[in-house]
Structure 1
Amino acid sequence: MIRAQGLTKRYGGGARAKTAVDRLSFEVHPGTVTGFLGPNGAGKSTTMRMLLGLDAPTSGHCTVGGRAYAAHSAPLTEVGALLEARSLHPGRSAYHHLTALAHTHGIPRSRVEHVLATTGLTDVAGRRVKGFSLGMGQRLGIAAALLGDPATLVLDEPVNGLDPEGVLWIRNLLKAQAAEGRTVLVSSHLMSEMAVTADHLIIIGRGRLLADTTVEKFVRESGTGSVKVVSPAAARLAELLAGPGVTIGGDTPGTLEVRGTDAEHIGRTAAAHAIPLFELTPHTASLEQAFMDLTHDSVEYVTPDGAHLEGAAA
Structure 2
Amino acid sequence: MIEARELTKTYGEKTAVDGLTFTVRPGAVTGFLGPNGAGKSTTMRMIVGLDRPTSGTVTVNGRPYADHPAPLREIGALLEAKAIHPGRSAFDHLMALAHTHGISRHRVEEVIEMTGLAQVARKRAGAFSLGMGQRLGIAAALLGDPETLMLDEPVNGLDPDGVLWIRNLLTGLAAEGRTVFLSSHLMSEMALVADHLIVVGRGRILADTTVEQLVREAGGDTVLVATADPVRLRSLLAGPGVEVTGRPGSEQLMVTGRTAREIGFTAAEHGIPLFELTKHEVSLEEAFMNLTHDAVEYVASAA
Compute the TM-score of the two structures, normalised by the length of structure 1.
0.90
Structure 1: distance between partners of 2:184 and 2:209:
17
Aligned mate of 1:44, from 40, 47, 53: 40
Q: Please report the RMSD computed on the Cα atoms of aligned residues, expressed in angstroms.
A: 2.1
1:102 is matched with: 98
For residue 102 of structure 2, give the secondary structure of its aligned residue in structure 1. coil
- Pairs within 5 Å for 1:252-291: 255-264=251-260, 266-267=263-264, 269-270=266-267, 275-291=272-288
Secondary structure of the corresponding residue to residue 189 of structure 1: coil
Determine the C-alpha separation between the residues in 1 that align with 2:61 and 2:75: 9
AA of the residue aligned to 2:165: W
Q: Output the TM-score relative to the length of structure 2.
A: 0.93
1:298 aligned partner, one-letter code = A
Partner SS, residue 57 of structure 1: coil
Q: Aligned pair 1:130/2:92, yes or no?
A: no
In structure 2, distance between residues paired with 1:39 and 1:262: 33
**Whole-Å separation in 1 of the counterparts to 2:242 and 2:55:** 39
Paired residue type of 2:94 = L
Could you tell me whether the CA contact under 8 Å between 1:225 and 1:283 is conserved in 2?
yes
Runs of at least 5 residues in structure 2 that lack an aligned partner in the other structure: none
Structure 2 residue 226 is the aligned partner of structure 1 residue 233: no
**1:109-120 superposed matches below 5 A:** 109-120=105-116
Alpha-carbon shift at residue 268 of structure 1 (Å): 5.9
Change (3 A) 1:247 1:232: closer
Q: Does 1:293 align with 2:280?
A: no
Asked if structure 2 preserves the Cα contact closer than 8 Å seen for 1:31 and 1:180, the reply is yes
Tell me the residue number matched to 1:28.
24
Equivalent residue for 2:81, pick from 75, 81, 85:
85
After superposing the two structures, state which structure 1 stretch, 144-153 or 229-238, moved more: 229-238
1:10 is aligned to: 10
Residue equivalent to 1:218: 214
Residue matched to 1:312: none
Structure 1 unaligned segments of length 5 or more: list them: 308-314
Q: Is the 8 A contact 1:263 1:280 kept in 2?
A: no
> Is the CA contact (8 Å cut-off) linking 2:223 and 2:256 kept in structure 1?
no
Cα contact 2:29–2:170 (8 A) shared by 1: yes
- Taking only the aligned residue pairs, the percentage that are identical comes to 67
Alignment deviations for residues 96-121 of structure 1 (CA, whole Å, 9 cap, x no partner):
00001001101010000000000000
| Secondary structure class of the residue paired with 2:223 | strand
Q: Which deviations, in whole Å up to 9, do the C-alpha atoms of 1:65-115 show, x marking residues without a partner?
A: 011000100000110000001001111100000001001101010000000
What residue in structure 2 maps to residue 67 of structure 1? 63
The answer to whether the Cα contact below 8 Å between 2:220 and 2:280 also exists between their aligned partners in 1 is: no
Is 1:54 the counterpart of 2:50? The answer is: yes
Post-superposition Cα deviations, 1:247-290, rounded to whole Å, max 9, x if no partner, equal: 5225886x323054343553465467564545321022000000
Distance 1:170 1:237, change over 3 A: same
Residue type at the aligned position of 1:8 = T
* Equivalent position of 2:181 in the other structure: 185
In structure 2, what is the Cα distance between the partners aligned to 1:263 and 1:270? 12
8 Å Cα contact 1:201/1:212 also seen in 2: yes
